[in-house]
Structure 1
């Protein structure tokens, strides 16, 4: 799979009046320069075709517009509010015509195409237009009654720091890593001759001492790396790991040698926003930054560069009389203590001597299952990486099985688990604890497939192996208790399930931070048990505790949140709060459809729950649609006589009778 396939396009769309003279050599030279800046340049003379093209673009596919003549009066009102339109430039138009209009995305009005192209092609213009992405936490004026609340930070910072550290710790052959990076860059820019020449220059001239210069040069590297950092794209960042390391360590060297201790820097934005950042290097122990003006390719600019993972605190946000927002930030000097504790636990949890495997485990923890699958398959296919290490191979197959399980690919999941067990038993019979863990994971898959007798056998087998070694691991025993609790609920033994969960809770609170996502998962299981007992207030309380942890300590949009939303929806349904039930169930479904395969059993269950809620609300047509989708999924997973299929079919029949 090409890692460039999912990379957002830098696109320029031009709607030009047919009467505009494009034939002159000067105009043609100007237009050709645009192909050096933008990956795609689309030109239209028909406004309707242009609108159709723009509205079909993905919201994440950023686009700059050039509109000429009277066509602007027609198209600008139609496209101005589209999220992927980042900037609009007017050509051969009256500046007065747009001055009083509330079209903030219009960046300028130009009388001729040459001056417009010069503006679009200027390096400073593109650096100004690069969007910034900030995750925010409470500003200093928030109530300071809690020290934790005053310094609370987003979990995404923690994962960004873990990712950065893994990339910096990688110690590989520079030539091979450089070749791998450039192959990907060439594939991404395969249709852009100008950028391909820059890539050739980089291949020929690059040294670690020139990292800052290459980053500040407005070429392929600056664009790819900035985009990958904004989206925390693990795959792209891994491909760029050589350059990331060089850039970080050059920046750190400059930071350590710096004599200036305080800075106030400004950053403009394509929107009318100006960021002011106050920095004191004497207090900043968490972030690396430096004045790079003497090394920058943008020699005419004073620049301060911050390393990836830098954290800022918002001090104030004000709008000036001319409509520009002024955002004051300060580089953080403190750290969320609970998140720091969780980060260290996560670091130990994903640690392995092989850095690539650490990266794969981090992707799995972040819920990036597609990217994790790519990383693990690449490791298994890499003979140099495996190097006849059957123990490593068994671990890779086990983790890949877990990834398949999260993706709803249950046959592939069980196959990988079987391969891992076979490798351990044949080549490492003493590694029985690993086999115990895999058998518990298999038990969880059988539970999802509602094969509870098989799930019970696997879980009991795992417990027996763990206890027989004399090296029982407390957290693994807690996992076995949780799995046994799920089986007990399925068998109608809810009190026994709660005993298992309470035992697991005691162990987890002794051995991990109170904000660990595994505790949230346990609290959801406890909520489910209380819901079965119709103790809905208790179920709601445990579910909210789970949600608080997840919102604090998981990346935005993590699939684990869908389980909590689905539970909250089912609890609200049980309390006849159908509008709230619908809201929560739709939130769960949105996350599942974004992160899971279309035939995932959890998605099907959410369709059923939502259908029941819609039935209660009298929305029979939509209820029938969700039930039909659930039924289609269940038929791909279960045999035709399975109870899940029969019950869902009965629900569909009932809805259809009501229509």
Structure 2
């Protein structure tokens, strides 16, 4: 047991050190010229740190302002300041959204009340430190009120419009977030998750007495039936979970799986039985409102557990009590929800039977998706946003539908998404985690090893890639039929590795196995066979066996001519491959003919800076150089360089090679 504890602690310390600054929740800033000199203030710091998770002190106005402005507007800070320094600082930072509340701690309350009246974010002016602490604790515990000004974690999915590039980025992030959330909801929690989370939180809050008491209580008494109770408390659980969701800390979110699972089950047990109208008050930036205005009819994902009120007047009360910053507006969400639409992500009615939230609420499951019906501004300046909960079978939700918790292909899709957006290290950690949590010798385990092999390949770690792919193939051969196409995929991947390692004999063997399986399953004219023949042609070309290389490339072209449209880029790639072989054989006229055919197709089907077009340009340059037509050669080399200079780093081998070609041909002009 002791060894296990120390192992968990070591892992927790590592994670805390990596993410500590990102996980700061509700930071407190104290400005006073004597903050680090007066014994009373030093004692006060210790008292604050015993109950609040993050305190920074300043004795200089300019440095304090600089730090406040460096904090993201998505964060919310509390500011304590002396009366004298507050008069100087507050006019300069009051309009910043990250400044949530201000407390004046001073000797002369009456004198400071006069100038403070014009600043709505000043909550209290106090002369006693105990009163200051009490007020801060009270504000932190008023979750229903505070949530109005917290960052609302949303993603938007919409059909492409005139803002196509922005829409594509937004849609990609929507898909990524949904995949992550669906993984968290689907994967069965493991027993060690809770213990790891507790050890991590103990390390993070080790010097905060109040939090340590709550962590100990959580460790001793938590059960799955208490999930809602703990979520609604002002504690480390709520703050760290929502911060992890905000920054999408995958490691930490996986430790919260048991808690997310328990909340979802509680919402199922307490689900609403009929359609309901609920409300959510929120401060939002003008930029966020503009995004919503452009998303009428689109989808909105709420990437946290979403608390709403059944009382419109109460939501408005919370909204109107908070002061606005320069860039914020008051927004009231009016939400219609039918429980029959939410079988996968339920919403539940939470009664006011506890001391933590004095209102009746409806909470929606993490990742609930709504359709934006309308948004309009009222005469008093407040915006109303009308949402309706999307049904699980909504046509637009089919790409994200994952209603089987054992559907591991959907779980793997999250890792594939990480890989596609270039987060190779995160994807690698994700697949390694799955290997420890899924049954041995399963198709999913084989797929994990395959994915790890592909990631290692992208990192140019060929030996590691080969190791993972061989493990994947070994499992597949044990559990699948010998003609399964995923076995062919493994052979192809292994062949690619051997090709990179210049082991052409092994590469040829693997590619031939892939070809034989694909031919057995798909027949002799299926488009996937063209890839197999192209791979084989590449190996023969490296071996300088140009006769066999040309035969394979021609076979691939013939298949593509029968199965693809006349202007498909794959046809252009085949012509490029054939042209390269002819060029190697010094048959320049035939090479020229095929390069021109390739270029015609590729220019019509690919973006102008696509690397495959550069292959045609460079090949044409080499041919004209061989023919002694140096002007034409120089022209094609320059066209090649234009593409490479805009798409590749300066140190890339293709950049170096084309610059050498240009330098060489320039000396001949």
Shorter chain as denominator, the TM-score bin is: 0.5 to 0.7
Q: CA deviation at 1:526?
A: 7.7
Q: CA deviation at 1:131?
A: 1.4
Rate the CA distance shift 1:534–1:612 in 2: closer, same or farther, 3 A. Answer: farther
Are 1:251 and 2:267 matched, yes or no?
Answer: yes
Q: CA deviation at 1:307?
A: 0.5
TM-score by length of 1: 0.63
Equivalent in 348, 353, 358 of residue 290 of structure 1: 348
CA distance in 1, matches of 2:116, 2:612: 48
Name the structure 2 match of 1:639: none
Are 1:310 and 2:368 matched, yes or no?
Answer: yes
Are 1:220 and 2:278 matched, yes or no?
Answer: no
Q: What SS is found at the alignment partner of 1:301?
A: coil
Rate the CA distance shift 1:440–1:54 in 2: closer, same or farther, 3 A. Answer: farther
Alignment map for 1:438-477 (pairs within 5 Å) = 438-443=490-495, 457=508, 460-467=511-518, 470-472=520-522
CA distance in 2, matches of 1:51, 1:234: 33
Deviation string for 1:508-550 (max 9, x for gaps)? xxxxxxxxxxxxxx98878988998698997687558xxxxxx
Are 1:370 and 2:422 matched, yes or no?
Answer: no
Alignment map for 1:30-41 (pairs within 5 Å) = 32-33=47-48, 36-37=51-52, 39-41=53-55
CA distance in 2, matches of 1:424, 1:41: 54
Deviation string for 1:204-256 (max 9, x for gaps)? 1112221111111121111222233345544333211111111101101111x
* Aligned partners of 2:644 and 2:655 also within 8 Å: no
* Aligned partners of 1:360 and 1:372 also within 8 Å: yes
Are 1:612 and 2:645 matched, yes or no?
Answer: yes
Deviation string for 1:81-135 (max 9, x for gaps)? 989x45463636968868889xxxx733643375665454321154444311222
Are 1:437 and 2:457 matched, yes or no?
Answer: no
Name the structure 1 match of 2:226: 210
CA distance in 2, matches of 1:46, 1:17: 8
* Aligned partners of 2:331 and 2:383 also within 8 Å: yes
Q: CA deviation at 1:309?
A: 1.9
* Aligned partners of 1:158 and 1:343 also within 8 Å: yes
CA distance in 1, matches of 2:78, 2:572: 49
* Aligned partners of 1:261 and 1:282 also within 8 Å: yes
Alignment gaps of 5+ in structure 2: 1-10, 106-110, 163-169, 285-327, 542-548, 577-594, 618-639
Name the structure 1 match of 2:650: 630
Rate the CA distance shift 1:253–1:443 in 2: closer, same or farther, 3 A. Answer: same
Rate the CA distance shift 1:96–1:349 in 2: closer, same or farther, 3 A. Answer: same
Rate the CA distance shift 1:298–1:570 in 2: closer, same or farther, 3 A. Answer: farther
RMSD between aligned alpha carbons? 5.5
Q: What SS is found at the alignment partner of 2:156?
A: coil
Name the structure 2 match of 1:647: 658
Rate the CA distance shift 1:318–1:496 in 2: closer, same or farther, 3 A. Answer: farther
Q: CA deviation at 1:501?
A: 6.2
Q: For structure 1, which segment, 203-212 or 45-54, has the greater mean C-alpha deviation from structure 2 after superposition? A: 45-54
Question: Larger C-alpha radius of gyration, 1 or 2?
Answer: 2
Rate the CA distance shift 1:274–1:58 in 2: closer, same or farther, 3 A. Answer: closer
Are 1:12 and 2:31 matched, yes or no?
Answer: no
Are 1:280 and 2:294 matched, yes or no?
Answer: no
The aligned length equals 535
Alignment gaps of 5+ in structure 1: 144-152, 507-521, 545-564, 575-606, 614-625, 635-641
Q: CA deviation at 1:412?
A: 3.0
Name the structure 2 match of 1:265: 279
Name the structure 2 match of 1:550: none
Alignment map for 1:238-637 (pairs within 5 Å) = 238-255=254-271, 258-259=272-273, 261-269=275-283, 271-281=328-338, 284-285=341-342, 287-294=345-352, 298-319=356-377, 324-333=382-391, 336-337=394-395, 339-340=397-398, 342-343=399-400, 351-352=407-408, 364=419, 368-380=423-435, 382=436, 389=441, 395-421=447-473, 430=482, 433-443=485-495, 457=508, 460-467=511-518, 470-472=520-522, 481-482=530-531, 567=610, 612-613=645-646, 630-631=650-651, 634=652
Name the structure 2 match of 1:107: 121
Alignment map for 1:64-75 (pairs within 5 Å) = 65-66=79-80, 68-69=82-83, 71=85
Name the structure 2 match of 1:600: none
Q: For structure 1, which segment, 366-375 or 49-58, has the greater mean C-alpha deviation from structure 2 after superposition? A: 49-58
Are 1:46 and 2:46 matched, yes or no?
Answer: no
Q: CA deviation at 1:265?
A: 1.5
Rate the CA distance shift 1:350–1:261 in 2: closer, same or farther, 3 A. Answer: closer
CA distance in 1, matches of 2:200, 2:524: 44
Rate the CA distance shift 1:187–1:481 in 2: closer, same or farther, 3 A. Answer: farther
Are 1:132 and 2:145 matched, yes or no?
Answer: no
* Aligned partners of 1:364 and 1:403 also within 8 Å: yes
Rate the CA distance shift 1:534–1:335 in 2: closer, same or farther, 3 A. Answer: farther
Q: What SS is found at the alignment partner of 1:315?
A: strand
